[in-house]
Amino acid sequence: MKIAIVCYPTFGGSGVVATELGLELANRGHEIHFITYRQPVRLALLNSKVHYHEVNVPEYPLFHYQPYELALSSKLVDMVKLYKIELLHVHYAIPHAYAGYMAKQMLKDEGIILPMVTTLHGTDITLVGNHPFYKTAVSFSINKSDIVTSVSQSLKDDTYKLFNIKKEIHVIPNFIELDKIRNESQISCHRSVMAKKEERIITHISNFRKVKRIPDVIKIFYKIQQKIAAKLMMVGDGPEKLRAEQLCKELGIEDKVIFFGNSNEIDQILSYSDLFLLPSETESFGLAALEAMAWSVPVISSNSGGLPEVNFQGVSGYLSNVGDIDSMAENALKILSDDTTLVQFRESALNVAQQFDIKNILPLYEALYYEAINNSK
C-alpha cells in the first residue's frame, strides 16, 4: 500500500506512535509518506520506502492566524495525485481529520477516492476537542472518517460520551518496539552516575503539566525514601518543573532528586530504574508506563483513564485512586522492600509489555487499512 501519515512532529506520544508505526509499515514493504509542518523527531533516517513532505504555510498580513488546515489539505491533494497514495492515516481529530476530509472532497471532484483512517489519541478529545469552539468540527471530522480508532477503551468511551459520534470506534492500543530495547550490556552510562549500589532508583518521565500531578510524584518519593535508601530521577520539562524543584527543597530531599530536563538518555535511565511513578490525573493510554515496563520496570500509577488497560494491578505494578499518595507509597514499598518481590514484578512487567509489542499491534492497523480501501471501491 501507499500510505500518507499526518501527525504532529513532536516529542509527544501521538507523534512518536505515528512515526514508529510508519517506519514499521515501511519495514513490511509499504510505501509511507509523512506529511506535516516539520520532520518528525524520530524520523532520523529516510529510505526508499519512507518519504517526508513539508507543509509550508505562507504568511500574509491579512491573516492574524495562518491557515494551517488549508495548507495541509492542499498539500495532501498534491501528494496524493503525485505519488498515487491509496490511503490517508491522520493522528488527531483536529486539525488533521478536518483537513483530511477537505482533501478527500477536493480529490473526489477529480474522480479520486481517498479513504481516511483517523486515530484518536486523547488530548484531541478530552481537552481541545471538547471545547465548545471545536466540538462541532470534531464530531463532523470523526463521523466523516472512513475508519476511526482510539488508543484505549477508556478514550473510546469518553469520545462517545462527549460527542455525537455515529461511527464505530476500533480500539487499537499504543505499542512498544521490543526489538529496539537494548540489553543492559549495551548501555553506555553507569548506574553509579545516578545512585549508590544500595539505593533504589525511582523514575518519572513526562511533560511536567498539571495533569501529571508532579507534586504527587515528589510526595510519594518523600514517603518512600523515609523507609528505604532511594533516588528519584525526574525526566522531562514543563510548567510544573520549577514548582517540583522548590518542593524538593522544602522537604529537604533536593540531594536525592535529579532533574534531567528533556533527555536523550531515557533508555539508559530506565535500564537502571527499579520503579516508575505515574500518578496522573488521567492518561488516555499511558505510553510512558509501557516504555518503563518494556525495560522490566514495574509501575505505580493512578487508576484513571487508560492506565488500568496497561498497568495490571498486582502484576506489572499497582494502581491507586488519583491523589492517594499514601496508597501509592505503600504499594511502592511492597515492591521495593524485598529483592525477590522486585524481581517477580520486573519479570511480570516485561511479560505485560510483550503483549503490546508492535508486531502484535501493527497487523490490527493493516487489517483496517485494507478494509477502508476495499470499502471505498
Averaged pLDDT, 150-161:
94
The pLDDT assigned to 8 comes to: 82
Residue 177 has pLDDT above 50, yes or no: yes
Distance CA 13, CA 92 (A): 11
Residue with the larger pLDDT of the pair 90 and 129: 90
Q: What is the pLDDT of residues 321-335, one digit of tens each?
A: 999 999 999 999 999
pLDDT band at 95 (very low <50, low <70, confident <90, very high): confident
What pLDDT score does 11 carry?
Answer: 53
pLDDT in tens, 281-295: 999 999 999 999 999
Q: Could you tell me the pTM of the whole model?
A: 0.90
Reply yes or no on whether the pLDDT at 316 is more than 60.
yes
**Per-residue pLDDT tens for 82-91?**
999 999 999 9
pLDDT digits (tens, 9 = 90+) for 354-373: 999 999 999 999 999 999 99
Answer whether residue 101 shows pLDDT above 80.
yes
pLDDT of residue 182: 56
